[in-house]
Amino acid sequence: MVFARSTGDNLARLVKKIDVLVANNTDKKLASFVNILGDDPDTTATAAKKFAQDHQFENVAICVAEDLPNGPPGFKIAPEADVTVIGYVNSQVEDNQAFGPGETNRQQIEAVAAGTKKILAGDDQGDDAKEKDTP
Protein backbone atom coordinates (compact mmCIF):
# COMPACT_ATOMS: atom_id res chain seq x y z
CA MET A 1 0.00 0.00 0.00
CA VAL A 2 1.30 3.41 -0.97
CA PHE A 3 0.44 6.80 0.51
CA ALA A 4 1.52 9.79 -1.60
CA ARG A 5 1.18 13.55 -1.26
CA SER A 6 2.16 14.29 -4.88
CA THR A 7 1.50 12.65 -8.23
CA GLY A 8 4.63 13.38 -10.23
CA ASP A 9 6.79 11.28 -12.53
CA ASN A 10 8.67 9.61 -9.67
CA LEU A 11 5.44 8.30 -8.17
CA ALA A 12 4.38 7.10 -11.62
CA ARG A 13 7.65 5.14 -11.98
CA LEU A 14 7.14 3.59 -8.54
CA VAL A 15 3.53 2.62 -9.26
CA LYS A 16 4.49 1.16 -12.67
CA LYS A 17 7.05 -1.01 -10.91
CA ILE A 18 4.45 -2.14 -8.38
CA ASP A 19 1.94 -2.70 -11.20
CA VAL A 20 4.33 -5.18 -12.85
CA LEU A 21 5.03 -6.93 -9.54
CA VAL A 22 1.29 -7.33 -8.90
CA ALA A 23 0.67 -8.63 -12.43
CA ASN A 24 3.44 -11.20 -12.11
CA ASN A 25 2.49 -12.41 -8.64
CA THR A 26 -1.25 -12.94 -8.77
CA ASP A 27 -0.65 -16.53 -7.70
CA LYS A 28 0.68 -15.14 -4.41
CA LYS A 29 -2.33 -12.84 -4.09
CA LEU A 30 -0.21 -9.71 -4.26
CA ALA A 31 -2.37 -6.58 -4.45
CA SER A 32 -1.71 -2.89 -4.07
CA PHE A 33 -3.33 0.52 -4.03
CA VAL A 34 -2.15 4.11 -3.90
CA ASN A 35 -3.91 6.52 -1.57
CA ILE A 36 -3.34 10.11 -2.65
CA LEU A 37 -3.22 12.36 0.42
CA GLY A 38 -4.08 16.04 0.64
CA ASP A 39 -5.83 18.69 2.69
CA ASP A 40 -8.40 19.68 0.05
CA PRO A 41 -10.55 16.66 -0.91
CA ASP A 42 -11.66 18.13 -4.25
CA THR A 43 -8.16 19.09 -5.40
CA THR A 44 -6.77 15.76 -4.20
CA ALA A 45 -9.49 13.77 -5.97
CA THR A 46 -8.89 15.69 -9.20
CA ALA A 47 -5.15 15.04 -9.01
CA ALA A 48 -5.72 11.34 -8.27
CA LYS A 49 -8.13 10.96 -11.18
CA LYS A 50 -5.73 12.68 -13.60
CA PHE A 51 -2.82 10.56 -12.34
CA ALA A 52 -4.81 7.34 -12.87
CA GLN A 53 -6.00 8.42 -16.34
CA ASP A 54 -2.55 9.59 -17.46
CA HIS A 55 -0.82 6.34 -16.49
CA GLN A 56 -3.48 3.65 -16.97
CA PHE A 57 -2.21 1.30 -14.27
CA GLU A 58 -3.75 -2.12 -14.73
CA ASN A 59 -3.27 -3.73 -11.32
CA VAL A 60 -2.99 -0.87 -8.84
CA ALA A 61 -6.00 1.13 -7.66
CA ILE A 62 -5.66 4.87 -7.15
CA CYS A 63 -7.88 6.28 -4.42
CA VAL A 64 -8.45 9.20 -2.06
CA ALA A 65 -9.69 8.97 1.52
CA GLU A 66 -11.48 12.31 1.73
CA ASP A 67 -11.85 12.23 5.49
CA LEU A 68 -8.23 11.23 6.18
CA PRO A 69 -5.93 13.86 4.61
CA ASN A 70 -2.87 12.34 6.31
CA GLY A 71 -3.84 8.68 6.07
CA PRO A 72 -5.31 6.55 8.83
CA PRO A 73 -4.11 7.79 12.25
CA GLY A 74 -2.90 4.33 13.29
CA PHE A 75 -0.58 4.17 10.28
CA LYS A 76 1.44 7.14 11.56
CA ILE A 77 2.30 8.46 8.09
CA ALA A 78 5.11 10.96 8.59
CA PRO A 79 3.86 14.45 7.67
CA GLU A 80 7.20 15.23 5.98
CA ALA A 81 7.04 12.08 3.81
CA ASP A 82 5.99 12.62 0.23
CA VAL A 83 5.65 8.87 -0.38
CA THR A 84 5.22 6.08 2.17
CA VAL A 85 5.18 2.44 1.08
CA ILE A 86 3.95 -0.22 3.49
CA GLY A 87 4.25 -3.92 2.69
CA TYR A 88 2.27 -6.25 4.90
CA VAL A 89 1.14 -9.85 5.20
CA ASN A 90 -1.89 -10.85 7.29
CA SER A 91 -2.08 -7.36 8.86
CA GLN A 92 1.57 -7.56 9.95
CA VAL A 93 3.88 -4.85 8.54
CA GLU A 94 6.87 -6.49 6.86
CA ASP A 95 8.35 -3.47 5.08
CA ASN A 96 7.88 0.27 5.61
CA GLN A 97 9.72 2.87 3.56
CA ALA A 98 9.17 6.63 3.48
CA PHE A 99 10.66 9.18 1.10
CA GLY A 100 10.71 12.96 1.32
CA PRO A 101 9.85 15.27 -1.57
CA GLY A 102 11.98 14.41 -4.60
CA GLU A 103 13.52 11.34 -2.93
CA THR A 104 11.50 8.70 -4.80
CA ASN A 105 14.25 7.99 -7.32
CA ARG A 106 15.33 4.83 -9.15
CA GLN A 107 17.34 3.56 -6.16
CA GLN A 108 14.40 3.95 -3.78
CA ILE A 109 12.04 2.34 -6.29
CA GLU A 110 14.36 -0.66 -6.51
CA ALA A 111 14.47 -0.79 -2.69
CA VAL A 112 10.66 -0.98 -2.62
CA ALA A 113 10.74 -3.75 -5.24
CA ALA A 114 13.39 -5.63 -3.25
CA GLY A 115 11.30 -5.36 -0.08
CA THR A 116 8.27 -6.69 -1.93
CA LYS A 117 10.23 -9.54 -3.47
CA LYS A 118 11.57 -10.49 -0.05
CA ILE A 119 8.05 -10.64 1.35
CA LEU A 120 6.87 -12.71 -1.62
CA ALA A 121 9.80 -15.10 -1.49
CA GLY A 122 9.73 -15.66 2.25
CA ASP A 123 12.86 -15.87 4.33
CA ASP A 124 14.18 -19.12 2.85
CA GLN A 125 13.75 -18.48 -0.89
CA GLY A 126 15.90 -15.40 -1.52
CA ASP A 127 15.08 -13.17 -4.49
CA ASP A 128 13.12 -15.64 -6.62
CA ALA A 129 9.89 -13.60 -6.79
CA LYS A 130 8.74 -13.29 -10.39
CA GLU A 131 9.21 -10.10 -12.36
CA LYS A 132 9.23 -10.11 -16.14
CA ASP A 133 10.47 -6.57 -16.75
CA THR A 134 11.48 -3.42 -14.96
CA PRO A 135 9.73 -0.21 -15.94
Q: How many domains does the chain have?
A: 1
Domain enclosing residue 48, as ranges = 2-121
126 inside domain: no
132 inside domain: no
Answer whether 62's CB lies under 8 Å from 94's CB.
no
127 inside domain: no
Per-residue pLDDT of the chain (135 residues; tens, 9 = 90+): 999 999 999 999 999 999 999 999 999 999 999 999 998 989 999 999 999 999 999 999 999 987 788 888 888 888 899 999 999 888 888 899 999 998 888 999 999 999 999 998 884 344 444 443 333
What pTM value is reported for the model?
0.85
Q: What is the dihedral of CA 37, 38, 44, 47, to 10 degrees?
A: -70
3-state secondary structure (DSSP) of residue 95? strand
d(CA 78, CA 124): 32
111 inside domain: yes
